[in-house]
Amino acid sequence: MSNKEGPPYSPEHSENLQRYLLVPRKPRGFKEINGRVEPINSDSDMTIPPVVTVDIPYATLVGVRSGTRSGLLSVESADGEKAVKVKGCRLLSALKAKGPYRVSHIHPSGKMGGSPEGGLTLSAVEREIDNTLFFNELLTEEGFPVPYEPLAIIHYGKMFEPEGRSEYAEELAASVMQVKGDTRLAELYRLKAINIKAARRVAHRLGLMAGAQKRATNWSYWQDSDTVGNYVVFFNSDQLHLAPVDFEDTCPYKNVDILEEEQRLLRKRGNFDYPVWLNRSKELNLSEAPNLERYTIALIFGSMNKSSLSFVEGTRPSLKSTAQYISPGYFRKEFKKGFEVGYKNPDKRESLTRTDLHAAYDLAA
């Protein structure tokens, strides 16, 4: 590429995205390509061109990173400037490939997955959108603000064949969400705590929210995937909120072969942080699959013991760098305590404000 193909990157291009984030993010470049956008909401005036990541010096659009395959962009609409997240758009190599794209995603564990590297299939995008709309309805009814609103699907007109198996070929696509915020929980607990007591209070109150939210959605099975435990922390007016996101691997318990799944989980039980307190909570009528509910919560807790780099910065950490990016012990302890209380008593909530956050963490670090 040459400089003539696009303007050079300038930091000012993504400055207006910072109000949707509590911590700085690295920029990510985008380039317009041909394609179409299908609005999810019939009254939506939000349309953006399909985008793929390119080298930043030659980008035609500049946003910030939002994970391995996603980016956050600022767009203009009839209501003014808004932030949108485009998930599944790191597909420049796929669009350059002749014929179907055959590169599968490799998880941080080294295991090869069934999704395309840098992107999503149309069925995964549709699951994420359907589940997001349903979760949003449930959480809103319980008084929780939500950070993502589905807007559109990008169709790339390109097929993905996992491991070259044509019978499983699917169209490559991306979801477009309008966002109120995109700071991940992992980004928050990696910040420097300037007052541990205040930071414990923040962790406990976020745990209260997460526990109450899981109780409100205890019909849902969060399968063992990279997206388990993905929470966004965001401001709504002056109040700090938290909510789960990334639901492409979520499904109702009724759609799970419960007997087969429970047998599989029992074989792996020693590898997960099962919440002991759920064994004493039979009166909660957890769900039609209480063991899967225990497993789901264990995965949420376990996500805090793993490196957060892949969710936040879009990189795969080495084993040597993992330890410095997991949640601090005080944060995990207080979050789990709050989660237990919120799960047992969803009405037990305590507000969080900007003042609380600034008293706990150095947001400028």
Q: Tell me: the pLDDT tens digits for 252-262?
A: 888 888 778 77
Per-residue pLDDT of the chain (365 residues; tens, 9 = 90+): 233 344 444 445 567 788 899 888 888 889 888 777 778 776 666 678 889 988 777 788 889 888 888 999 988 777 778 899 999 999 988 988 888 998 887 665 566 667 898 899 999 999 999 999 999 999 999 999 999 999 999 999 899 998 766 777 899 999 999 999 999 998 899 888 999 999 999 999 999 999 999 988 877 887 766 677 889 999 988 899 999 999 988 888 888 887 787 777 777 666 567 777 776 555 455 555 667 788 888 888 888 877 655 555 555 555 455 555 678 889 999 999 999 999 988 888 889 999 999 999 988 76
Query: Which of 131, 146, 179 is the last residue before a domain boundary?
Result: 179
Domain match, 120 and 188 both? no
**Would you call 243 exposed, middle or buried from its count of C-beta atoms within 10 A (0-12, 13-18, 19+)?**
buried
CB neighbourhood size of 140 (10 A): 11
pTM above 0.95, yes or no: no
| Same domain assignment for residues 278 and 139 | no
Q: Is residue 42 part of a domain?
A: yes
| Same domain membership, residue 322 and residue 214 | yes
Q: Are residues 104 and 244 in the same domain?
A: no
Q: How many structural domains compose the chain?
A: 2
Q: Is residue 163 part of a domain?
A: yes
- Which of 127, 160, 179 delimits the end of a domain? 179
Whether residue 189 is found in the same domain as residue 154: no
**Size (the chain), residues:** 365
344 and 314 share one domain:
yes
| Same domain, residue pair 281 and 323 | yes
Angle between helices 290-303 and 258-268 in degrees, nearest 10: 50
**Same-domain pairing of 167 and 209:** no
Would you tell me how many other CB atoms lie within 10 Å of the CB of residue 104? 16
Domain range for 277: 184-360
Name the DSSP letter for residue 171: E
Token output for 114: 């069934």
**Residue 8 falls inside a structural domain:** no
263 and 289 housed in the same domain: yes
Which amino acid type is present at position 303?
A: S
Q: Which of 114, 148, 179 is the last residue of a domain?
A: 179
Residues 229 and 327: their CA atoms lie apart, in Å, by 12
Q: How far apart are CA 209 and CA 244, in angstroms?
A: 10
